[in-house]
Structures are given as C-alpha cells and as structure tokens.
Amino acid sequence: MVKFATGKMIRLSTFILTLLIANSAYAQRAVATLDRSTVAVGEGVGFSIACENFQPSRLPSLPSISGLQISNSGSGRSFQLGGGQQISTLTYNFLLTANKIGTFVIPGISIRSNSGVFKTQSLKLRVVASDSSDNKSQISDYAFIRLIPIKDEAYVGESIPIEIQLFLQNGQFNMPELSAEGFNLTEYPEPRSSRAQKGNTIYQVRTFQTAATPVKSGNLKIGPVKMDVVLKIRQNQRRRSPFSDPFDGLLTRYQDVPVKIEAKAQNITVKPLPTNGRPDNFNGAVGQFSITAKASPLEVNVGDPVTINIEMSGQGTIESLSLPNLEWRGFKSYEPSVLSKKTDPLGINGIKVFEQVIIPEKETIKEVPRIEIAYFDPKAESYKILSQGPFALKVKPSTKSNLISTTSLPENDSSDLEDEKLKQSEIIWIKYEIGPLGQATPFVTHPTFWLLQSIPLLFFVGSLIWRRKKNALADNPKLRRQMQVERNTRQSIKKLINLAEKNKTLEFHKELAVVLREQIGLKLDIPAEGITGDSINESIAKSNIKPKALDKLYMLFNNCDAASYAASHSTADLRKCLIDLKEVIDELK
Amino acid sequence: MINYALIVLIFSLSETTALHANSIKFKNANELFDSKNYTEAIQNYNDLSTNGVSVNLLFNLGNSYYKAGEVGKALSSYQKALKLAPRNPDLIKNFNFVQKQVPTPPIPITLSQKLIRKLSIDEWIFITAFLSSLFFILMGIKQFYPSHIKNRFWMKISGAIAFIFLLFSLYSLSDYYDDKRAFVTKDIVVHTGPVEQSPESFMAKDGMELFVLGHNGNFINVKSSFGTVGWIDTDAVAFILP
C-alpha cells in the first residue's frame, strides 16, 4: 500500500515538474499596443505594455516625448490557457494625451527581468486637429464619429487603410455607411473596442477599419461616413436638484434617442501609375510583393504534366494579383488553380498561390522558362519585376499517346483508337433521319412501365396466397372435412331436387341418408359410414340441437329406413323432406 | 363500337400528322445546316425539341452549335444525346473531337460512373425489369409446383442478380438526373462571390466543363477541373439533362 502511494506521488511530482518546465519553455516577450493609432489633440489614448511569461525586475517607464503627456494608469495580470499554450501576462497601462498635431514615435522600451532584457516594438501615434464640428451640436456630447484615412495621397490600385472611430457614451449603433466613389472597399472586420476621455466625458470607442483602393486618378473624396446610433440618455440627468426625490438615482431611467451622426468627407489625391518604365507584362499589381516558385517533376515524358507552384506574398491588393500568360512555345498549358489567403483582417497583406499545369509536347525542351511578374511599388514609386527560374527540365520521348484523355466520355476504346488513327479533322455530318421523337424521360417514369411490372409481382403474390391457403387446409383435417362436406351437400341437394321432381323415391332416400350421415358425422366428429338414427341417439342428445330439429332428423332417418322397404312417396312428400333436410342442416351448422 | 373506332382513327390520324410535321421541320433544319445557316438551323432544331427529343435531333443540334462556334452548347447537346445513346459511335467521335478544342481538361469521372454509362438508363431499367419479372414468375411457379423446384440456390442467385441490377438502375437514374455538371457557353469571369461586383476567381472559357456545387439566386457555385471554386452566372452555362 505504501509502495503504491509512493509510486503515485512520484508520478504526480513528475507531472508537476513537466508542467513547470513546459511553462518555462513558453515564449517570453514584451508587446506594446495603442488603443487607437490616430487621435485628436487633447484626447487621451491608452498605451499598454504586456509582459508575457516574465516578471519585470522594475516598473517599465516611458521616455519623455515632446508634445505628449504621459500618465500611469495602473497594471493588471491575466492568465490564458488553451490551444496548447499557456500565457501569463502582466500589463502596464498608460494614458497618452497629445497637445499638438503631428506624428509621434513611441520608441521601443527595454524591460529588464531575471531572464534577460525584452524590448517592445516602436509605435506611431498620429495626432490630428480636434474636429470643431464635434462641439457644434448637443448630440456630440453623447456620440460623434471620426473618419481617418491613413494617407491622403496614393497611386491608383494602392490600398489605403481607413479608420472610422465611433465615440459613444452609452447606446447602440449600426454599421457605418461610407461613401467612397472611385474606391473599392473591403469588408469591415470586427471593430476594436477601447475607451477615451475627452474633457470630463468618458467614451466607449469602436474603431472600424477598411481598406480603400482607388480605381481612378484625380482628386477624390472619401466620405462622408454616416452612422445610425440609438443613444441611451438618462432622463433624470437634466432635472437633478437637491430637492428632488431622495430615491432619484436608484431607479434611473434611460430614454432611447435615435440619431444619425456623420463625419465629413476627406480629400485623397490619387496619382495615375507612371507610364515611363512600365514593363510589358505589368498587369495592374500595386504594392510590395515577393515570389517563390518551384516546378515538379523535373524529369518527365512527352505529354506528362509538370506542375508549377507560384507563391506570391506581400502587401497590396492580393485579390487583384494574377499570373502572366504562361503559354510558352512547346508547352500546352491549362487554367491555373488559385488559392488566396489574407494574413490581416483588412486583406492588405496576404498570400496568393497559383498552381499551373503545363505539358511539354516535344522532347527537345530543356527547361521551364523563367517566370516574371511585374508590379508597381508605391513606396519606391517605380515598377519592379520579380522572377523565378528557369527550371532545368528533362523530357523523354513518350511511351504512350500524348493526347489528354477525355475522362468524361463513355468508354469506347476501340472507337477512340480508330478515331485517333483516322486523325478526324471534322465532325461527323448531321443525320437525315429524325428517329423516334419523344420526351427524354426514362421509361421508369411512365405509368405503363409500372402496370407491366406489376403483373409478375401480382402473379407471385397470388400464388403465395394460394399456397398459404392450401397449406392451411392441409394442416387442418376438420376444416378440410367441413369444406368437403359442404361441397358434397351442395351437389347432393341439387341431385335430391332432381330426384324429387322425377319422383324417384328410393334413390332420393338413399341420397338423403348419405347427406344426413355426412352432416351428423361432421357435427359429432365421427366417421360418416355406418351412422343410423339409433347409433347416434346418445351422442346427438348431448349436442345442443333444438328438439324440433332433432325430431325432424329422426323422422328423416326413419323415412330413409322405411323407403328401403316400401318406397311410395309422392313428389310433394319428397319436397317436404327436402325442406326438413335444409332446416336440419342449418341447425347442425 | 363505332364511336370507339372513330376515336382511334382520329387519334391515329393526328399522330401521323404530327409525325409528318416533325419530319418536315427536321428536314428544313437539315437543309439550313447544309446551306451553312447554322444559327437558323439551331433555332429550328430547338423549336422541334419542344415536341420531344431524339438522339439524331440532339446530334444535329450539337453539330450546329459547333459550326456556329458555340463549343459549350455543342458539348452539352452531345452529352444530352449520350445520355440516351451512350454507345453511339458517331456521337462519341464528335464529342471527342469538340472536346479537344477546349483548352481545359474535363471533370474526371469515377469508375462506377464509367460502368453505369456503358448502358442508357432505359437499358438498365429494361434489364432490371426483365430479371425481376423472371424472378417473380419463378417464385410464383415454385408456389404451384414446390416439388418440381427443389434447388433454391439458383433461386437465390437470380434474386441477388435482380437486386444488384436494381441498385445499378437506381444509380443510373440518379446519374441521369444529376445536374452537377455543366458546360460554360461563353468566355466569362467566374467571381469569388455570388454578385457581379465580387472579385475574379478565374476566367472560364467557352466549352469548359464545371462541377456544380450549389445555387444562389442567379448564380451557381462551381468548381473547375483544377479545383478552383467560384460563382458563375446561370445564363453562361448549359446543363446536360436532356
């Protein structure tokens, strides 16, 4: 028992140790973030430094930056576990308030810890003039909107990140409606949330981002941006006085006020792409890109496919990237397959992968030619060419027909081969007989089909019923006898009527005796042969036959016996006998 | 009795008249084709197809489309005809010939689809109907003469064969009504979304075969033989259901 407990303790300790080692192995880094990258003069913006998986040996501090007022706003700790990762984060928060317009660079901050020195990345904060329209209406105390294009000058096809900041005290909002004639806009990703202080008011800030790509040159306008907002305004705010209800404030009521807020349009100067130095194979890509390409296999037979995989990545309108025409001489090429992947929510950065299949048609081909893609770099303001290859290719003579198989055809190898032999140069001519014209619906949809198809089924079902009935009869001798007796009785009655009409008394009574014996034999479940009126006295008395019918039965038996000695009855007597017989049969049933 | 005979006579006469009218229309369309008036020939063949279709009508329609430079519609007509007569050598040759004019490979088909398309849907159904009828008749006879049919092995085998053919027929029926393949009928941009303003996914050429993934309004979600997915206008494709 002790041994077992010791083993368990060792395993537990090993597990904890493994966890600790694993924890120490997680990435340690320092990350700096700004709530918003653009603010107005006098407006506070949150700046935070997150220390992931390490403990700073002293509090990080920001250097003094001219034009920026920096104040400490506390710290917090968080712990995340999931996705195979464990992140312990200690966050130091600061509030930055700009007092002049411009772009401020917050340098990387070095943070010392026992495990080394970690440095944050530098960040840029753009400070714009406070929008005077913010203060024009009373509504702006509760909500206002700001439209911020990150740049005001761009080339045609160059993506311009756009920020729409909604400042809202309390309320609900719809998605912004941005007018952008002459621009292509990307979809809004999930808005970022932060808080901002302006004067004595604290706002919830929602930052919507999009990328606008100009499609024409000239002085264009982006905006205005409009937004439907439902403000939640405290009803008692305006009426508060020292003499009001002492419970006022406990039962605060809000009034929903729907308003439409708007930010004015911004000017963007869009320059046309220069014509000087434009490469012939330029097809409209604007941005900064890189390329990798590979071809495989590099040793093939004539007619075998070679796949060229081209991966383009970078910043720009990834969606608009397209491959130049790779229709090289000596190769048959097909439409490329394309796969795009955006690596940022705005879709400005991403990867596009092209997979092009080419088929060498001659064994004299020695290489896959160089692949060149041209683009315009708006930062360098010049065209650039990316290239990969050429790739050495070894093409061996074909061992089979180099024609691409038409896989969707119904197989008809002999006719196909014949076709190839004949080198068909024209389609086979039209037919001059129309043939049976009908609706192209399968026969299975016609009622006639089901009618015909039901015949063998009905035959089978009928035969099955017949067989079941026959088997049931074979297994039940009493039922079989009953049916036999009923059949014989029907025939005998017909015969008796006939005999009565002809007044054949002797034959009539012989037949009558047979019928009576069979009926009584069936009733008493005894053999019919040898039954007489006397022999059944005891047995028939026990059965619940009415006395009147019983009397008639005896009388009929006596008549039969008497007839064998003196057969002299009239037709009327015989008919009466028949009526009595029917009554007796009914009673016996 | 006289009334009945009169009805039959009127019906036969109207049928004969309709057949004759169809033959004349077909002849006219053929003459237009021979005189290289392909567009008018197409119109005539299409008018005639409203009364019903035949393999030869679809064959001629395919030829007319091809001659008029509409490769996608030609391939679609041939495929429709191949559904009715999958082993027709002229159809196969023309389909092969036109298919080779298309720069993109066709959508590959599975081994089971190849097997199913050896026979037409009606051929599969007739074989299955015959085998199942035979099976039911034999089963019926066995009920009447149980002592004569003692070897149940063959009965089970025939039942199993009929069942297998029934499965093939059902598969063939689903393949016949399959609207998952279509041919592009004009050079058109395939978009990444089901709206005209969506960015381009790829350029589809006339005659390109596409696999249909779904529908959304007037757009069809398609996949090319290279695996590229996109949305194309319904009016720019021709389906292959006759």
Which of B63, B89, B227 has its CB closest to that of A337? B227
Question: How many whole angstroms separate alpha carbon A72 and alpha carbon A31?
Answer: 17
Asked if B114 lies within 8 A of A411 by C-beta distance, the reply is yes
Q: Amino acid identity of A305?
A: P
If asked whether residues A384 and A511 sit together in one domain, one would say: no
Instruction: Identify the closest residue of chain A to B28 by CA–CA distance.
Output: A432
Residue entry with tokens 């009803």: A235
Q: What pLDDT sits at residue A290?
A: 87
All residues of chain B having their beta carbon less than 8 Å from the beta carbon of residue A444 are 121, 125, 169, 173
Question: How many whole angstroms separate alpha carbon A529 and alpha carbon B43?
Answer: 91
Q: Please give the torsion angle defined by the CA atoms of residues A337, A343, A347 and A350, in that order, rounded to the nearest 10 degrees.
A: -50
All residues of chain B having their beta carbon less than 8 Å from the beta carbon of residue A434 are 22-23, 26, 54, 56-57
If asked whether residues A342 and A267 sit together in one domain, one would say: no
In this prediction the ipTM stands at 0.78
Which of B53, B96, B132 has its CB closest to that of A416? B96
How far is the CA of B63 from the CAs of A408, B66, B72, B90, B242, in angstroms?
19, 5, 12, 11, 16
- Summarised one tens digit per residue, pLDDT across range B187-228 is 999 988 887 777 888 888 899 999 999 888 888 999 888 788
Our CA-based measurement puts residue A393 at a distance from the nearest CA of chain B, in whole angstroms, of 23
* SS3 state at A408: coil
If asked whether residues A375 and A307 sit together in one domain, one would say: yes
Mean pLDDT score, B108-130: 90
Question: How many whole angstroms separate alpha carbon B159 and alpha carbon A462?
Answer: 19
If asked whether residues A123 and A140 sit together in one domain, one would say: no
Mean pLDDT score, B71-86: 93
Q: What pLDDT sits at residue A138?
A: 59
Q: What pLDDT sits at residue A251?
A: 58
Sequence-separated (6 or more) residues with CB below 8 Å from residue B226: A334, A335, A336, A337, A355, A357, B104
- Which residue range is the domain that position A260 belongs to? 132-237+250-271
CA Rg value for chain B:
23
At A80, phi and psi to the nearest 5? Answer: -125, 135
Q: SS in 3 state form for A14-77? A: HHHHHHHHHHHHCCCEEEEEECCCEEECCCEEEEEEEEECCCECCCCCCCCCCCEEEEEEEEEE
If asked whether residues A534 and A559 sit together in one domain, one would say: yes
Of the three residues A61, A93, A128, the one that is the final residue of a domain is A128
All residues of chain A having their beta carbon less than 8 Å from the beta carbon of residue B143 are 460, 463-464, 466-467
If asked whether residues A220 and A293 sit together in one domain, one would say: no
Per the CB < 8 A criterion, the answer to whether A302 and A395 are in contact is: yes
Q: What pLDDT sits at residue A407?
A: 37
> Strands A153-155 and A143-149: what pairing?
unpaired
Q: What pLDDT sits at residue B168?
A: 92
Q: What pLDDT sits at residue B63?
A: 93
Sequence-separated (6 or more) residues with CB below 8 Å from residue A117: A110, A111
The reply to whether A457 falls in a domain is no
Question: How many whole angstroms separate alpha carbon A514 and alpha carbon A530?
Answer: 10
Per the CB < 8 A criterion, the answer to whether A34 and A78 are in contact is: no
Put simply, the chain A residues between 381 and 410 with a CB less than 8 A from any chain B CB are: 403-404, 406-410
Per-residue pLDDT of chain A (589 residues; tens, 9 = 90+): 444 444 555 555 554 444 444 444 467 888 888 888 888 888 888 888 988 888 888 888 888 888 888 888 888 888 877 656 677 888 888 888 888 888 888 888 888 888 888 888 888 888 887 765 444 455 667 888 888 888 889 988 888 889 898 888 888 888 888 888 888 888 888 888 888 877 777 888 888 888 888 878 888 888 899 888 888 887 655 445 555 555 555 556 777 888 888 888 888 999 888 888 888 777 778 888 888 888 878 888 877 778 888 888 888 877 667 777 677 778 877 767 777 777 787 778 888 888 777 888 888 888 888 888 888 888 888 888 888 888 888 888 765 433 333 333 444 444 444 444 445 567 888 888 887 777 778 888 888 999 998 999 999 999 999 988 888 888 888 888 888 889 999 999 999 899 888 888 888 888 888 888 888 888 877 887 777 766 667 677 667 777 787 788 888 878 887 776 765 667 788 888 888 888 888 887 7
If one counts the domains in chain A, the total is 4
Asked if A407 lies within 8 A of B109 by C-beta distance, the reply is yes
Put simply, the chain A residues between 432 and 461 with a CB less than 8 A from any chain B CB are: 432-440, 442-444, 449, 452-453, 455-457, 459-460
All residues of chain A having their beta carbon less than 8 Å from the beta carbon of residue B51 are 437
Asked if B199 lies within 8 A of A320 by C-beta distance, the reply is yes
Instruction: Identify the closest residue of chain B to A321 by CA–CA distance.
Output: B200
Asked if B125 lies within 8 A of A337 by C-beta distance, the reply is no
If asked whether residues A303 and A319 sit together in one domain, one would say: yes
All residues of chain B having their beta carbon less than 8 Å from the beta carbon of residue A409 are 92, 95-96, 99, 106
Of the three residues A103, A128, A153, the one that is the final residue of a domain is A128
Which of A335, A410, A449 has its CB closest to that of B104? A335
- Choose the mutation target among A334, A405, A418, A434 for the interface with B, i.e. most B CBs under 10 Å: A434
- Residue from B19, B18, B21, B42 nearest B30 by CA: B42
All residues of chain B having their beta carbon less than 8 Å from the beta carbon of residue A408 are 106-109, 181, 209
The reply to whether A465 falls in a domain is no
C-alpha angle B105-B109-B113 in degrees, rounded to nearest 5: 150
* B16: confidence class by pLDDT, cuts 50, 70, 90: low
Our CA-based measurement puts residue B3 at a distance from the nearest CA of chain A, in whole angstroms, of 25
CATH of residue A223's domain is 2.60.40.740
